[in-house]
Structures are given as C-alpha cells and as structure tokens.
Amino acid sequence: MHYSNFILLGLLSAGACSFVFAADTANPASNAITNQTFEQNTSTLQAIKDLKHITKNDLKVNANAAQPDQVKDPLQPLNRQIFAFNDALDRNVLKPVAIQYVAKVPEPVRNPYRQFRKNLGEPWNAVNQLIQGRPSRAAKTLGRFTINTLTTLGFADPARRLGLPTEEESFGVTLGYYGVASGPYVMLPFFGPSTFRDGFGLAADSFGRPQKYLLDDQEGILWSTNVLQAIDARSQILDIEESLKGDKYAMIRDFYLQRKAFQIAEKKGDSNDISFISDVDDTDESSPDEQ
C-alpha cells in the first residue's frame, strides 16, 4: 500500500466518519439518521477546530504510556473521531471477513503464508539493524533470510531451530533508537495507532518492502496482497480482543506506546527500565493499555 496517500486518506476519513456512524447506528426513522449524521459532523469539525490550541511544545513530546493524556495525546479529540471511524469499519467489514478467513482457510495454510510474508521483511530488518550500528545482528538476520529462503522458500522457519530467531524492525524504531522524540500519539485512518515519528517511519518502511518492486507494475496484485495481509493480521487477534474492557481507545493507545518504548529499550539493552501500566502507581493519570 502506498503510504504517501496518508494525507488523502485522512481527508477522506474525516468526510467518511459521518456516513459510517450513521450506518452503524441505523434507525428506521429518517430524521433520527439525519440528527445522528449532523451530530457526528459537528463533533468531527469541533475536533479539527480544537487543533488550533496545539503548541509547538506539544509536538516535541516523547510520548509514553505513563504520561498524562494531555501530554502524550494532545490530539485526542480528533484521534478519537478517527478511532471511532476505524472501529466501525472494523466491526462492519474487517472483523466479519477475518472470521470467515479463519473458518474457511485452515491453519496449515495460514501459518506458512504468514511466515512467507515475514521472511520477505528480513532484508529490511537487516538494513535497520545496520543503521542502528548492530552489524552482528544484521548478519544473523541475513543468515535467517538465506536459510529459510533456500530451504523452504520462506514458508517455514528452520533458521529458528538453528538458533537464529527473528527480530522485527521498523524505521520508526530505528529513529527512536537514536533518540528521535516520538511526537504525540496519533491515530491514523485505516492504519491505526502511531506517533509522528512512527508515521514517518511507515513511509520509509514502504520503500523497504520487496513487494513494492516485485509488483511495481501489478497494482491490482499489490493491493490484493496488502488486503490479505490486513485480514490475516486481524484474524490473529480475534481471540484476545475480548480482554479489552472499558475505554478501548485508551487501552490501545497506551499499549502501543508501551510496546514501542520496550522495543527501543530492548535494542539498547535497557529494557528492564521499562515498566508496564500494571506496574505504575495507581495514582498515575494515564489509562490502561494495548498495542
């Protein structure tokens, strides 16, 4: 998928929010639908207007889950609108398709497909590890890629049994490794949780995907593979989503920020310094978490 379309998707989602909400809360009375649409439009517009109160200092924050909401998530009014749009889209489209995917596609087919895609990402993992100044880890990653590709075309993971576990990377994590502040939390339309830093990293990651070059002149196939990846990824959390109780938005936000902080700290060798929300004092102002 072309991450250069982020801005366009954002504009489209702002307009689409009202339609999805109206459909999601459909009422036989047409005036009720009209009122609901008007309310959602008003709410979205107000959230956009509230952005004028954001200062430069708000954008320089290095967001983490333990911070107060106004520090880590100054864009929260708009973020919640986008989250609600994403959630409605998930409940009405992606989740039902993922359920059918699990029901119709056996696990012995899903797992090799998942491993094949993961294997395609190994060269980009190695590039990030080299940028991080970890050449020995990059060599192991390239070794994984070579062994898995030559032995099983990437559909299985014999390299793990040889003591070469995977270590997934992203350019956003690499920037964080070098101390680049994350900026505030942001909910991207369609793509979900992110930060300013990780949003930029997503754009860079898109150029590290071999599919982009292998299928450069096959737009239909490229989009199909991305849709299938999204469905497969959604299917993997069907069993755990019921654990999300209360403020789902806050849980997802805080877990995402926790996970990113842990990934960066782990590469620096100081992951023991990262405490999870359950370990934070009960008087903390932050909410529970999720990825």
Per-residue pLDDT tens over the stretch 80-104: 999 999 999 999 999 999 999 999 9
Alpha-carbon distance of 211 to 202, in angstroms, equals 15
Count: domains in the chain: 1
Give the whole-number percent of the chain exceeding pLDDT 90.
Answer: 60
pLDDT at residue 281, rounded to an integer: 39
Q: Any residues with CB less than 8 A from the CB of 176 and at least 6 apart, and which?
A: 182, 197, 260, 263, 264
Residue 236: inside a domain = yes
Rounded to the nearest integer, the mean pLDDT of the chain is 81
Q: 217 exposed, middle or buried (CB, 10 Å; 0-12, 13-18, 19+)?
A: exposed
Is 286 a domain residue? no
Residue 29 belongs to some domain of the structure:
no
Please tell me the pTM assigned to this model.
0.76
| In contact, 16 and 22? CB cutoff 8 Å | no
In a domain, 233, yes or no: yes
Task: Give the confidence band of 43 by pLDDT, cuts at 50, 70, 90.
Answer: low
Angle, CA 172 vertex, CA 168 and CA 177 arms, to 5°: 85
Is residue 264 within 8 Å of residue 176, measured between CB atoms?
A: yes
The most distant pair of C-alpha atoms in the chain lies apart, rounded to whole Å, by 65
**Opening angle at CA 30, ends 24 and 36, nearest 5:** 45
Residue 251 amino acid letter: M
CA separation for the pair 157, 259 (Å, rounded): 24
Is residue 47's pLDDT more than 90?
no
1, part of any domain = no
34 vs 201: which has the higher pLDDT? 201
Residue written as token pair 């789902």 = 248
- Given a cut of 50, whether residue 4 has pLDDT beyond it is no
Residues 6+ positions from 238 with CB-CB distance below 8 Å: 95, 98, 99, 102
Structural domain boundaries enclosing 181: 54-104+170-279
Does the structure show a pLDDT above 60 at 23? no
- Check residue 11 and give its pLDDT: 36
User: Would you say residue 25 lies in a domain?
Assistant: no
Determine the average pLDDT of the residues in 119-142: 96
What Å distances lie between residue 39 and 10, 20, 42, 44, CA to CA?
20, 13, 5, 9
Q: Check residue 199 and give its pLDDT.
A: 95
Whole-number pLDDT of residue 284? 40
Task: With a cut of 50, say whether residue 1 has pLDDT above it.
Answer: no
* Average pLDDT estimate for 10-27: 41
Task: Pick from 43-47, 202-206, 219-223 the range whose average pLDDT is largest.
Answer: 202-206
Eight-state DSSP code of residue 155:
S
Residue 21 in any domain: the answer is no
Find the range with the poorest average confidence among 80-84, 192-196, 204-208.
Answer: 204-208
Task: State phi, psi for 183 to the nearest 5 degrees.
Answer: 75, 175
pLDDT at 46: 65
Pairing of strands 192-195, 185-188: antiparallel
d(CA 174, CA 167): 13
pLDDT over threshold 60, residue 232: yes
Q: Is 188 helix (H, G, I), strand (E, B) or coil?
A: strand
User: What pLDDT shows up at residue 271?
Assistant: 64
The set of residues, in sequence order, having a beta carbon less than 8 Å from that of 167 and lying 6+ positions away, is: 125, 129, 137, 141
pLDDT band per the 50, 70, 90 thresholds, residue 55: confident
In a domain, 62, yes or no: yes
Residue 128 predicted with pLDDT over 60: yes
- The answer to whether residues 33 and 26 touch, using CB atoms and an 8 Å cutoff, is yes
Give pLDDT, residue 245: 80
